[in-house]
Amino acid sequence: MELVWGKIVKSINWTFVANLVNFALLLYLMERFLYKPALKYLDRRRDRVAAHMEAARKSQEEAEQLAAQRREALQQAHDQARITVDEARAHAEEIIVAAKKDAKRAAERIIEIARRELAKERTEMEAELRRAYAELAVMGAARVLDREVKLEDHRKLLDELLAEVDAEAADLQS
C-alpha cells in the first residue's frame, strides 16, 4: 500500500492543498477577528435601536396622555367658565329683579306719601274755603242787617256755618 500511498502523495496537487489550508485559515481568522466583532457590533446596535424605539414609543404614549390630560383640563376649564357665566347671569337677574321690586316699593311709598299730602292739602284747602265762605256769608249778612256783629256772635255764627258747610260737603262726597 505504500505504493499506492506514495502514488497518491505524488499525484496530489500541493498547490491545491496549500490553497485549501490558506482558505481554512482565512475563514478562521475572518470569523475570529471580523465576523464575531461585526456580530457583536450589530447586536449592540440592534439593542440600541430597540432601546431608542422603546423610548420613542414611551414618549409617544406620554405625549398622548399629556394631550388627553390637556384636552380634559381644557374641557373642565370650559365647563367651569360656562358654569361661572351662567351663575353670573342668574345672579345678575336676581339683582335686577330685586332692584325692580325695591324701585316698585319705593315708587309705591312715594305715591302713598304724595296721596296723603294731597289729601291733607285738600282737607286744609276745604277748611280754608269753608272759613272764607263763612266769612263772606257773615259779612254779607252783616251788611244786610246793617249792623255790626259782636266778635263772640261772629265766632258763634262762623262755627254754626262751618258745621252746616261740613255737613253739606259730607253729603256731597257720599
Domain ranges of the chain: 12-173
Distances (CA, A) of 102 to 89, 92, 98, 109, 116: 20, 15, 6, 10, 21
Determine the pLDDT at residue 95.
94
- The stretch 64-77 carries a mean pLDDT of 94
What's the CA gap between 171 and 174, in Å, rounded?
5
Whether the per-residue pLDDT at 91 is higher than 50: the answer is: yes
Determine the pLDDT at residue 164.
78
What's the CA gap between 91 and 84, in Å, rounded?
10
What's the CA gap between 7 and 1, in Å, rounded?
9
- The stretch 47-75 carries a mean pLDDT of 94
Residues 6+ apart with CB under 8 A from 138: 149, 154, 157, 158, 161
Determine the pLDDT at residue 74.
94
pLDDT digits (tens, 9 = 90+) for 103-157: 999 999 999 999 999 989 888 888 887 777 777 777 767 666 655 656 677 677 7
Residue type at position 125: M
Q: Quick one: how far is CA 47 from the chain centroid?
A: 54
- The stretch 67-92 carries a mean pLDDT of 94
Q: How much is the mean pLDDT over the chain?
A: 84
Using pLDDT thresholds of 50, 70 and 90, give the confidence band for residue 8: low
Determine the pLDDT at residue 123.
86
pLDDT digits (tens, 9 = 90+) for 12-42: 777 888 899 999 999 999 999 999 889 999 9
Using pLDDT thresholds of 50, 70 and 90, give the confidence band for residue 93: very high
Determine the pLDDT at residue 1.
45
- The stretch 39-56 carries a mean pLDDT of 94
pTM above the 0.85 mark? no
Question: The C-alpha cell of 92 is what?
Answer: 345678575
Distances (CA, A) of 90 to 23, 81, 96, 98: 95, 14, 10, 12
What's the CA gap between 94 and 100, in Å, rounded?
10
Question: The C-alpha cell of 17 is what?
Answer: 492543498
